[in-house]
Amino acid sequence: MTDPRRFVHLVEVMELDLMVWIHLVLGVLCFVTAALALLSPKGGALHRAAGQTFSLAVLPTAGIAVWFAIEANHMALLLVGLLNLHTVISGYRVLYLKRSVPAHTLGPTRPGPLDKGMAQMTLLGSCAILAWAIFAWHVERLAPLMIVLGLGGAVMALSDLKRFRQPPKDPHHWITTHAIRMIIAATLAAVTITVLQIADQRVYVVWLAPLLLGMCLIGLWVWLISKRLTTYGDPDSFVEIRINDGAEKKETSSN
């Protein structure tokens, strides 16, 4: 006679293995499309297609990481998954919010519930996990890392909320913000892959290695963008912009 408990356990294990494999496949897709987006001409067809595919792949990747974190009561992984969702959404949306438009303008050019809600959720989640890491410092070996990530997430969310209320003085902020957020999203996706796929509990292998690589990429890309802006003066000179074209034409014609 079949033991129902054994059957339920078998189904749970199969579902777990399936989710791990789905997460791995999506992670590989994230890495490939992120590399294509970084190396291809900015604003071109390949860059846009790779960036859109990357964003769509990161969303379920981060969602699965959050699900695993809740199942395993893994606070650090939960924070990484939350920040991953925020960075990819805000990094993509900043392209739509890059232009200052009149308050009466309709469409996706103004901060909406998704923008504000994601920033607010990230702020609350980062602060909550940051407080928990400080409180559980003596028992949580990842507490220092969680404090750093929690502070980073809170600062990032606060900067977004401030940007929604008052546009930055730098009119070219969007290109740097987009590049940094997308690189952070790829870095955090790499962290979830190493944590869930590599059977190695050494912190510097599964956590610090992807984070350090991501920091190096961010520094390199910020330097490249700054150099391009110094040379050309306007990102429109070296980036093919196609987002918000309709809204801007509508605004111009109305004026």
Check residue 221 and give its pLDDT.
83
Give the start-to-end residue ranges of the domains of the chain: 4-95+107-119+170-254
Q: What's the CA gap between 70 and 180, in Å, rounded?
A: 28
Where does residue 168 fall: left (phi above 0), alpha (psi -120 to 50 degrees), or beta otherwise? beta
Q: Is 173 helix (H, G, I), strand (E, B) or coil?
A: helix
Q: Residue 45: what pLDDT?
A: 87
Which three-class secondary structure state does DSSP give residue 35?
A: helix
Reading phi first (left if > 0) and then psi (alpha if -120 to 50, else beta), residue 218 is in alpha
Asked whether the predicted pLDDT for residue 173 surpasses 90, the reply is no
Instruction: Decide if pLDDT at 27 tops 50.
Output: yes
Place of tokens 């690189």: 183
- Calculated CA dihedral for residues 43, 223, 152, 244, nearest 10 degrees: -20
Q: For a pLDDT cut of 70, what percent of the chain falls above it?
A: 78
Quote the CA–CA distance of 154 and 125 in Å, as a whole number: 8
Q: DSSP secondary-structure letter at 206?
A: I
**pLDDT reported for residue 83:** 95
pTM as predicted: 0.80
Instruction: Taking residues 187-212, report their average pLDDT.
Output: 79
